[in-house]
Structures are given as C-alpha cells and as structure tokens.
Amino acid sequence: MGRPFVGYSHVFSFNDPAGMCPRCEGVGEAVDIDERELIDLDKSINEGAFKFSAYAPGTWYWKWYKLTRLFDADCKLRDYSKEDLDLLLYAEPQPLKNPPPDWYATAKYEGVVHRFRRTYPDGVRDTHKGQTARDLARIIHRTTCPECKGARLNQAALSCRIDGRNIDDLSRLSIADLLALAETWTMPEVAPALENLIGQLRTLIDLGLGYLQLGRTTPSLSGGEAQRIKMVRHLAVL
Ligand SMILES: [Zn+2]
C-alpha cells in the first residue's frame, strides 16, 4: 500500500537488518557520553584526571597510561597542547612510535575516551554493579537517536507512506484513530489484509484498549492490558 515501494514486510521491522536504523541498530536510542563526567581537565593524571573508578590513580589502566611515557603525569590536562590532549583522549588504537623498554610488545595505545566508548558501546547494563554502575550512570546518558528520532527504522522504511503517513506516524496513533483512518483506505489489491487489520483493531477497541498505540512496547503495558493483548493474539491465531 505504501509509496514509494521500498520492499516487503521485513523492511518495516526494526529487528531486521534491512529495516533497522543503522545508527541505533533499531533501539531508537543513542548513547551520549558526558566527557566532563569522565575527564577532569583541572587535574593531572596523578591527581586523578580520569573520573572513572576503573581508571583512578593506582588502577591498572592508570598505570598503563603512565607507562606509555607519552604524557607529563603531573601537568593539568588543561595545560596540555591540543595534540597531546587529543592523543590522551581520542587516539584510535595504534602502536607506540617509541615504545619504552617495559612496554608490552604487541600492545596498542588508545585514547581514554576512545577506549571508554569502545568498552561501553551500549551504556549501562544490568550486568554492571556497584561503583562501575554508578560511574556509568553519571557518564553515559541515553538520548533519542538523532537519525531515526526514536522511530527505530532506517530512512528507506520511513520514506514509504500511506496518505502522507509513514509506519512510525501510524503506530503512534491511538488504535481508535488508526481504525478510523484505516476505514477510509480503499485498496482493492490488498483488501483481505486490510480487512484483517481492521478486524483486529476493532477487537482491541472492543476489549477497551482503543487508547493504546501499536508502537507502545510490551514492557510499558499494565498487567491487565498485556492480558487482553495476549487474548487478541490468541484470537488472531484461531
Ligand atoms: Zn536510530
């Protein structure tokens, strides 16, 4: 029904690589790192410029950055040259040009922020506990994905529209409004599918769920709502 034609049903699924937003991989959220919570420019490495407990003075990571001999560990980061600060924070993994004798032969140097982003690409997870979890909650924030604006789909899927609305617009309508709209569509070539859709939307309204949106995710439903939705799915299978 949608125009332009961008593919079959799988391209409208954020779980399918063909449909998911490439930036957030279909999650609808992006990880945002507050670097001021990760790095204190007013401190030197020895004073604890790395504000993440795993990189605090005395830790393995902290020793590792000192071991590179690339930086003056007593100089406040604010006083570094731009090149040195970039190297300390953002350098991609690279071999050291003049490795000190006690440097691990195969080790690559990597900037603190770069390493942090690589280590925690998804932000805070339930598996993180204690101080690490508290640090991550302070440093990492989840924001709506700037590319898909939370729609979770790629731009091709979102470009396909029925009467000016894409699948994200439609799934944000209440079921009652969506039904009213679907009843105005006349598309003989897909009549059975449309009839089926209208029938299922009517069933949800009959169950008192007309105020819900199809885009609302299952975990946000109350127990009663989830129960009734389960019933509709069961009826649909029958
Ligand atoms: Zn996205």
C-alpha of residue 95 to centroid of ligand 1, in Å? 34
C-alpha 117/C-alpha 51 separation (Å) is 14
Measured in angstroms, how far is the CA atom of residue 21 from the centroid of ligand 1?
5
User: pLDDT > 90: what percent of the chain?
Assistant: 67
- CA dist 101 → 105, 126, 231 (Å): 9, 40, 69
CA 154 – ligand 1 centroid, Å: 7
CA of 72 to the centre of ligand 1 (A): 40
- What is the chain's mean pLDDT, rounded? 89
Q: How far is the CA of 151 from the centre of ligand 1 (A)?
A: 7
pLDDT tens per residue, range 109-160: 999 999 998 888 776 566 778 888 899 989 988 889 999 999 999 999 999 9
Distance between Cα 23 and ligand 1 center (Å): 5
Segment 36-41 mean pLDDT: 96
Domain residues of the chain, as ranges? 32-144, 173-238
Distance 37 CA to ligand 1 centre (A): 25
Å from CA of 184 to ligand 1 middle: 31
* CA of 147 relative to ligand 1 center, distance in Å: 5
Compute, in angstroms, the gap from residue 144 CA to the centroid of ligand 1.
8
CB 90 within 8 Å of CB 111: yes
Q: Check residue 120 and give its pLDDT.
A: 84
Q: Please identify, in words, the CATH class of the domain defined by 173-238.
A: mainly alpha
Distance 206 CA to ligand 1 centre (A): 34
Write the pLDDT tens digit of every residue in 219-229.
Answer: 567 777 777 77
The pLDDT value given to residue 98: 85
At 62 the pLDDT is 95
Per-residue pLDDT, averaged over 188-214, amounts to 92
CA of 157 to the centre of ligand 1 (A): 12
> Which residues on adjacent β-strands are paired with residue 94?
109
CATH 2.130.10.10 fits 32-144, yes or no: no
Confidence of residue 30 (pLDDT cuts 50, 70, 90): confident
Instruction: Look at residues 154, 130, 67, 69 and name the one whose alpha carbon lies nearest to residue 104.
Output: 67
- Choose among 102, 54, 48: nearest CA to 73: 48
139 contacts 117 by C-beta, under 8 angstroms = no
Q: Measured in angstroms, how far is the CA atom of residue 14 from the centroid of ligand 1?
A: 9
With 60 as the cut, is the pLDDT of residue 237 above it? no
Kindly provide the b/e burial profile for residues 5-25, where b requires at least 16 CB atoms within 10 angstroms of the residue's own CB: ebeeeebbbbeeeebbbeebe
- Taking the C-alpha atoms of residue 171 and residue 54, their distance in angstroms, rounded to an integer, is 42
